[in-house]
Amino acid sequence: MARHRTTPVLGAPRRHPFRALGIATMGALLVGAALFPGVSTDDATPVSDQTALNAVEEHGQLQVCGLKLCDESGQPIQLTGMSSHGLQWYDQCLTDASLDALAQDWRADVLRVSMYIQEGGYETDPRGFTDRVHELIEEGSERGLYVIVDWHMLTPGDPNHNTDRAKEFFAEIAAEHADKDNVLYEIANEPNGVSWNSVKGYSEEVIPVIRAQDPEAVVLVGTRAWSSLGVSEGSDHSEIVDNPVDADNIMYVYHFYAASHSGGHFDVFREAAQELPLFVTEFGTQEHTGDGPNDFASAQAYLDFMAQEQISWVNWNFSDDFRSGAVFETGTCNAGGPFTGTDSLKPAGEWIRDQIRTSGLSA
Ligand code: IDC
């Protein structure tokens, strides 16, 4: 693959705002520990987190190598992190404090910015939503996070319904952020009710628009049947293997909800991982509604497999929606937190925070 670098990455150390803050805060914590030797700082962010690794500074521009996601130097890596909820509903959960918590206390590597198109999303105010995505890319970048720009089409399920909108949006986003190393483009959240061939056709229209501006960025392609690799509509990954999208440096997207998708879905996912580059941009520990009881055993089986295969994942979702899959208790965002520690977390939130803290680049 021809790679055209516009900005130097490795070798030219770039200043990271939290490095300085980290040292100052670490000093304060050490002084605190000396003054109050009996007081554990366990409930606060541990000292080591204050200098949490800046994933982007360390790993630079990502690329697909073989079936893996690799860093700038060609080393396979796994990213772990969180997806926002829809910006039209839960923008108030994406604040300086909550994003600081995600980067430092949760030690996430990646933030997925979920911008719905319908349901009160982008189509109602293209300028406003595009501007907000620009801002969130900057917010993520300042915190050393990779940022997935999620074109959250869902209803209608044919991505071609929104092709013109997608081209306009991605052309602007890619042009504005082409010199960054940390942006990934997810061009269709969950195609449904359409053939794989339609999704492939859409992808081959939109990917060149992105690549014209930002030739190096990794692009993530949603798969048929709510990004189930086809399984939820009676197909499987072979339709992709036999008829891949004609583009380099792409990965195919798989989503799962652990309480609903532990059987045949998991089997196909495991097989697909041997044949396709995969990225899980959304999963929940509960049912496919994003609600209902958690099945942590099923989710753990998936996470163990993804750790073994170094498949990157993002959990749904970093909001205080009432459903069990939103990590914060209802009311947390309007109250301004707390976003660190576990006091505001639902069971799924506590579980996933632990997982993120102990996996991925900044474990
Ligand atoms: C759900 C939200 C819910 C919202 C609904 C609207 O949790 O609050 O009312 O979308 O569309 C997906 C989708 C994602 C869903 C999520 C949970 O990508 O938008 O969020 N889910 O149902 N695919 C499978 C599950």
| CATH number for 91 | 3.20.20.80
Residue 338 resides in a domain: yes
Residue 153 resides in a domain: yes
Backbone torsions φ then ψ of 146, nearest 5 degrees? -75, 145
Rounded alpha-carbon distances, angstroms, from residue 40 to 32, 43, 49, 234:
10, 7, 15, 53
The residues near 315 (Cβ < 8 Å, ≥ 6 apart) are 81, 82, 83, 282, 283, 284, 285, 327, 352, 355, 356
281 CA → ligand 1 middle, Å = 13
Active site residues: 190, 282
Structural domain boundaries, residue 358: 75-362
Share of the chain above pLDDT 90, in %: 84
Residue 245 resides in a domain: yes
Ligand 1 and 289: CB distance under 6 A: yes
The 3-state DSSP class for residue 299 equals: helix
Residue 290 CA to residue 151 CA, distance in Å, equals: 19
Residue 258 CA to residue 236 CA, distance in Å, equals: 18
Q: Which atom of ligand 1 is nearest to the CA of 316?
A: 16
85 CA → ligand 1 middle, Å = 8
Q: Which atom of ligand 1 is nearest to the CA of 226?
A: 23
pTM (global) more than 0.85: yes
pLDDT at position 46, please? 47
From atom 17 of ligand 1, which residue's Cα is the shortest distance away? 290
Domain count, the chain: 1
Ligand 1 and 245: CB distance under 6 A: no
Residue 45 resides in a domain: no
pLDDT at position 52, please? 54
Residue 331 resides in a domain: yes
Please write down the long-range contacts of 13-20, taking CB distance under 8 Å and 24 or more positions apart. 13/57, 14/57, 16/54, 16/57, 16/144, 17/142, 18/52, 18/54, 18/103, 18/104, 18/143, 18/144, 19/51, 19/54
pLDDT at position 10, please? 37
Residue 39 resides in a domain: no
Ligand 1 and 265: CB distance under 6 A: no
Ligand 1 and 255: CB distance under 6 A: yes
Residue 278 resides in a domain: yes
Which pair of structure tokens corresponds to residue 310? 């170094």
Ligand 1 and 226: CB distance under 6 A: yes
360 CA → ligand 1 middle, Å = 25
282 CA → ligand 1 middle, Å = 10
Task: Give the E-state strand segments of the chain in sequence order.
Answer: 63-65, 68-70, 80-83, 110-116, 146-152, 183-186, 219-221, 250-257, 278-284, 313-316
Residue 46 resides in a domain: no
Residues of the chain with pLDDT under 70: 1-53
